[in-house]
Amino acid sequence: MLNGKLVLAVVPARGGSKGLPGKNLKKVCGRSLVEWAIATAMQCPEVDVCLLSTDSEAIVKAAERVGLSESYRRPIDLSGDRVSDVQVLAHAVRWFEERSGQEVGCVVMLQPTSPLRRVEEISAGLRMLESGNYDSIWSVSEVDLKYHPLKQLSSSEDLLAYHSPEGSQVIARQQLEPTLIRNGLFYVADRNVILELGALLGERCGFFKVDRPTVSIDDLDDLKLARRLFRDTIRSEEDRSPAS
């Protein structure tokens, strides 16, 4: 609960994927991506209900392997690759409220394709929302200055140009202000942001910055990187554990 309001975690996981077929069922360190997302949500003390939104029977079965019983098949018109996250979340909230008779206070979205999340980070994001200063929280990472927007280029036919005209004025990296990118570890939003504003980024969106490497999986190379980062994390935790 959050200020007495019900916290609903939604794991959106459709069966199709063009870049990496069967992506949400790909395994990392013995568990599928959807299993990792659900298991993390269920471990978060502030989360009251975890709901899987899917169009795939195989994904439902994967969810059951980690003890999730609250799942539903989303309508076919919400299963395409052009459907927005907000559409999926809004439908999930309405479905849950109609079925349970309870009103959702806030929503946490955990995308299986960003598996390197930690329970304590989700909790921290929810506590930020609880403070009342924000209506939504996104987890973000700082962009390496080598990829700063003012250093990016555009092409037209065979000609190259600065993506932003201001890029021509950049001489040293010290001129550049840090920028942030969403890393997909979690999104938190008040119910009204999703249902009334029809948005995921509210009018007062805060951020929780993660300083370690993360990955959002779109293709096979991303999956290989996620597996390596997971193994490195496990080894690091084992090295920090006291000897038995």
User: What are 195-218's pLDDT values in tens digits?
Assistant: 999 999 999 999 999 999 999 999
**Is 214 within 8 Å of 141 (Cβ atoms)?**
yes
Q: Record the pTM.
A: 0.90
Distance CA 204, CA 187 (A): 13
Residue 238 has pLDDT above 60, yes or no: no
CATH number of 6-139+180-229: 3.90.550.10
Residues 4-29 have pLDDT tens digits of 899 999 999 988 777 888 999 999 99
Residue 241 has pLDDT above 60, yes or no: no
**Is 113 within 8 Å of 14 (Cβ atoms)?**
no
State residue 2's pLDDT score: 84
**Considering only CA atoms, which of 17, 39, 18 is closest in space to residue 29?**
39
**Is 223 within 8 Å of 26 (Cβ atoms)?**
yes
State residue 143's pLDDT score: 94
Q: Mean pLDDT over all residues of the chain?
A: 91
3-state secondary structure (DSSP) of residue 164: coil
Residues 103-150 have pLDDT tens digits of 999 999 999 999 999 999 999 999 999 998 999 999 999 999 999 999
> Residue ranges per domain, the chain?
6-139+180-229, 144-177
Q: Which two tokens stand for residue 128?
A: 């930020």
State residue 236's pLDDT score: 65
State residue 17's pLDDT score: 78
State residue 244's pLDDT score: 42
**Is 114 within 8 Å of 229 (Cβ atoms)?**
no
Stretch 40-69: mean pLDDT: 93
Residues 180-192 have pLDDT tens digits of 999 999 999 999 9
State residue 72's pLDDT score: 84
3-state secondary structure (DSSP) of residue 214: coil
Residues 101-112 have pLDDT tens digits of 999 999 999 999
**Considering only CA atoms, which of 224, 47, 204, 210 is closest in space to residue 140?**
210
Residue 222 has pLDDT above 90, yes or no: yes
Residue 195: CB atoms within 10 Å = 17
